[in-house]
């Protein structure tokens, strides 16, 4: 079986998401793949939210979120040996931006957290599901539970 | 990172699905996991089909499909060293039956084919998506394209 050449870790920084990063790093180690990490800062109203429409972030808040995400990715990068030029913060819908990055950089595996279908998971779960539907490459969905197992 | 202990391959026998089996076997080899394989023979009307409702299979046809699936699983089993008692043909909705098997046997990774969102993929894709939504364990969705890459 061919080894994965380039794995993209989609980091969402929710509780226990380190499990997703560890699995991505584990697979990258096993297959000797290049590993990149991305995080999408959503600046758009989330029309499909079950809680009703969410007001778009203003510019300053978006800049703060981007800076915070960059710090988080730097920590992940240091932990798992991902160089700075493969730590990508993008602004926009996670569903769309993660797929665009994957195509642009020709990744052959996306590793993403999969949340339960309750509470926050209703919202976050849809990102994993949309990635699975639309990705042109393989997708590993790492199950995240309240217990973080 | 903990190794997977028991991987469940969800086989659908569509074109190029051998890629899914090879990935499951590859991961099982890497992690030294137990590998099981299942196929669900759907005997129910598919109410959500985009082509309209599909007439349920009759009993004889279901028995024939089960026998055919058993043969296919036996071939997969011989190819990838999966013993007969871990080759499971179940009757019912793939979405439900695969998840039930995964829970019953406490598998920690399900490997399933992910089809495009066109033609047959509209139907089959929903199985992978539903498994991702509802599984209590990790899910690897192996992308199947027309080219079988």
- Determine, for residues A138 and B141 on separate chains, whether the beta-carbon distance falls below 8 Å: yes
Alpha-carbon span A122 to B134, nearest angstrom: 11
B1 belongs to a structural domain: no
Chain A residues within 8 angstroms (CB to CB) of chain B = 1, 22-23, 25-26, 30, 114, 117, 125, 128-129, 132-143, 145
* pLDDT in the model for residue B138: 95
A139/B141 Cα distance (integer angstroms): 5
Tell me the percentage of chain B whose pLDDT exceeds 70: 79
List the Cα angle A90/A18/A88 in 5-degree steps. Answer: 20
The first and second tokens of residue A4, run together, are 């994965």
Look at chain A and report how many structural domains it folds into. 1
Which residues in B lie closer than 8 A to residue A23 (C-beta atoms)? 1, 138
3-class secondary structure, B100? helix
Give A121's pLDDT tier (boundaries 50, 70, 90): low
Q: Give me the domain span that covers residue A105.
A: 6-143
The reply to whether B149 falls in a domain is no
Mean pLDDT check: name the lowest of A95-99, A123-127, A135-139: A123-127
- Residue A71: pLDDT over 60: yes
B114-123 contacts at long range (C-beta below 8 A, 24 or more positions apart): B114/A132, B114/A135, B114/A138, B114/A139, B114/B141, B114/B142, B114/B143, B114/B144, B115/B14, B115/B144, B116/B144, B116/B145, B116/B146, B117/A133, B117/A134, B120/B14, B122/B50, B123/B46, B123/B49, B123/B50
Provide the mean pLDDT of chain A.
85
CB-CB neighbours of B147 under 10 Å: 7
Whether B44 is in a domain gets the answer: yes
Q: What is the mean pLDDT of residues B39-63?
A: 66
**For B59-108, what is each residue's pLDDT tens digit?**
677 788 899 999 999 999 999 999 999 999 999 888 899 999 999 999 99
Eight-state DSSP code of residue B106: T
DSSP state of B16: T
| pLDDT for the residue numbered B134 | 87
**If pLDDT is split at 50, 70 and 90, which confidence band does B51 have?**
low
Question: What CATH number is attached to the domain comprising A44?
Answer: 3.40.50.620
What are A29-63's pLDDT values in tens digits? 999 999 999 999 886 555 555 666 555 556 677 78
Q: Which of A22, A129, A132 sits opposite B1 (nearest CB)?
A: A22
Residue A1 domain-assigned?
Answer: no
DSSP per-residue codes, chain A: -PPPSEEEEE----TTTHHHHHHHHHHHHHHT-EEEEEEEE--S--TT-TT---PPPPHHHHHHHHHHHHHHHHHHHHHHT--GGGEEEEES-HHHHHHHHHHHTT-SEEEEEE--SSTTHHHHHHHHHHHHHH-SSEEEEEE--TT--
> Percentage of chain A surpassing pLDDT 70?
79
- For Cα atoms A115, A121, A126, give the angle at the middle one, nearest 5 degrees: 85
Average pLDDT over residues A96-100: 94
Q: Which region among A124-128, B47-51, B78-82, B112-116 has the lowest average model confidence (pLDDT)?
A: B47-51
Residue A92: phi and psi, rounded to 5, are 145, -170
**pLDDT interval class at B43 (50, 70, 90):** low
Q: Per the domain annotation, does B118 fall within a domain?
A: yes
Q: How far is A136 from chain B (nearest CA, A)?
A: 7
A45 belongs to a structural domain = yes
Kindly state the tokens that stand for B144.
């199947």
Task: For residue A149, tell me if it sits in a domain.
Answer: no
**pLDDT for residue A79:** 95
Work out the percent of chain A whose per-residue pLDDT is above 90.
Answer: 55
A33-47, B24-38, B63-77, B129-143, range with the lowest pLDDT = A33-47
Chain B residues with CB-CB distance to A25 below 8 A: 1
Q: Which pLDDT band holds residue B126 (cuts at 50, 70, 90)?
A: confident
pLDDT of residue B116: 64
What is the per-residue pLDDT for A149? 44
| DSSP assignment letter at B6 | E
- A56 CA to chain B: closest CA distance, Å? 27
- The model's pLDDT over A12-27, given as tens digits with 9 standing for 90+, comes to 888 778 999 999 999 9
In a domain, A77, yes or no: yes
List, in order, residues 6 or more apart from B14 with CB less than 8 Å away: B113, B115, B120, B124, B144
**Residue B56 in this model has a pLDDT that exceeds 80:** no
């Amino acid at each position: 079986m061919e080894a994965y050449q380039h794995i993209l870790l989609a980091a969402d920084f929710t509780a226990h998401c380190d499990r997703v990063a560890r699995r991505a790093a584990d697979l990258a180690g096993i297959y000797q793949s290049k590993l990149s990490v991305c995080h999408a800062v959503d600046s758009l109203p989330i029309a499909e939210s079950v809680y009703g429409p969410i007001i778009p972030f203003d510019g300053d808040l978006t800049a703060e979120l981007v800076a915070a995400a960059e710090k988080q990715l730097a920590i992940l990068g240091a932990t798992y040996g991902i160089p700075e030029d493969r730590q990508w913060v993008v602004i926009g819908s996670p569903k769309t931006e993660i797929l665009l990055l994957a195509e642009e950089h020709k990744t052959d595996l996306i590793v993403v957290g999969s949340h339960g279908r309750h509470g926050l998971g209703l919202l976050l779960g849809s990102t994993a599901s949309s990635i699975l539907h639309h990705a042109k490459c393989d997708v590993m969905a790492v199950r995240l539970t309240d217990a973080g197992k």
